[in-house]
Amino acid sequence: MPRQIAKTRAIVLRTRRMGETSKLVTFFTEEFGRLKVVAKGSRKPKSKFGAALELMTELQAVCYLRDDRELQTLSDCDLLRTFPSLLGDLQLMSYGSAACEMIDRLTIDQEPNKRIYACLKGVLRGLGEVTSQQVEPLFWYFQVRLAEALGYRPELTECVGCRQSLDTRGLLSFTAALGGGLCRSCSQRGGVVGGVAEGPGAAALEVEGGYHSKGWAEGGYLVAAESIHFLARLQSLEVYRKEAIPARPNRGGEIRRMLRGFLEYHCGQDGRLKSLDFLDSTGPYRGVTPALDPASESSVSDQLGFGHTG
């Protein structure tokens, strides 16, 4: 099988040790999507790859690609950009690592998607630019845009059942399986127009902020209308601009759970995103999920359960 020499911009999603001197590196590339490459000799003290293979760096990569292999070969690379403001801040690095994990989990090898590459590069750059009150909304913006680039844009302005505009006040249901918000009427009916799928039951509307018994996949989550409309506002931003990112609202924990449930639903059978556990343990809405130990001697990426392992 002939091999192809490919040159592309790439961002490092994760690295793992391979043998005594090499690394297995997962990239998301501008031209080829996700690539897993072997960087031979990259762990040697005088490796030609230098610091270019650290987590969340952008580089120009030259790879040998073969269609009959899962692991490709990294021939050479040039460091293009680092994001030093992320590496010096635990919270910012956690958000950057979470963005990398999401893309690694939600994409497949060699499926090009330049929009995803732009989303990742944009959030890594933006995390170093926004204020502390904008950090989490920027991350939500990334999640909404990523979902759209992957082909499952959440419906945040119309009811997925009856297609009427969602109320701006009161309580609504948000369901990952149906792809967005349900108005109160459709939630109370326990179904959606046209018999697409079963919706949340009326009983769930009696408990504000509680999960439906069937969970995210079949039921959904009861949320304030203002939370869905906050996400709709982010979704309407076609291009990232620092000044357009709003400050974190009071119901930030609710929005965080909505997006987490939506994306983990699309992750498939092993849906839990480990890096989000770490964010929940250190962020402003601590206690949503079991905490990891911030005092551990392991690296931040090890605590995240993702990223650099050698």
292 Cα distance to chain centroid: 19
Q: What pLDDT shows up at residue 222?
A: 84
Give the pair of three-digit tokens for residue 30: 């501008």
Q: Give, rounded to a whole angstrom, the gap between the first and last alpha carbons of the chain.
A: 32
Q: Which residues, at least 6 apart from 29, have a Cβ–Cβ distance to it below 8 Å? A: 8, 9, 10, 11, 35, 61, 117
DSSP, residue by residue, 28-63 = EETTTEEEEEEETTTTSTT-TTTTTTSTT-EEEEEE
Task: Tell me the three-class secondary structure of 65-95, residue by residue.
Answer: ECCCCCEEEEEEEEEEECCHHHHCCHHHHHH
Question: 197 with 183: CB under 8 angstroms?
Answer: no
Domains and CATH numbers, the chain: 1-129+273-304 (2.40.50.140), 133-268 (1.20.1440)
Q: What pLDDT shows up at residue 28?
A: 98
pLDDT in tens, the chain (310 residues): 567 899 999 999 999 998 889 999 999 999 999 999 999 988 888 888 888 899 999 999 999 998 888 899 999 999 999 999 898 888 899 999 999 999 998 999 999 999 999 999 999 999 999 999 999 999 999 999 999 999 989 999 999 989 999 998 998 989 888 899 998 888 777 543 322 333 333 333 333 333 333 343 345 778 899 999 999 999 999 888 999 999 999 989 899 988 988 888 887 656 677 777 777 776 553 333 222 233 332 333 443 344 554 4
Sheet-wide strand order for 171-175: 180-182, 171-175, 221-224
Q: What pLDDT shows up at residue 190?
A: 58
SS3 label, residue 223? strand
Q: What pLDDT shows up at residue 192?
A: 34
Q: What pLDDT shows up at residue 292?
A: 26
Give the pair of three-digit tokens for residue 25: 């590196």
Predicted TM-score (pTM) above 0.85: no
C-alpha distances (whole Å) from 132 to each of 109, 140, 254, 285 are 34, 14, 19, 14
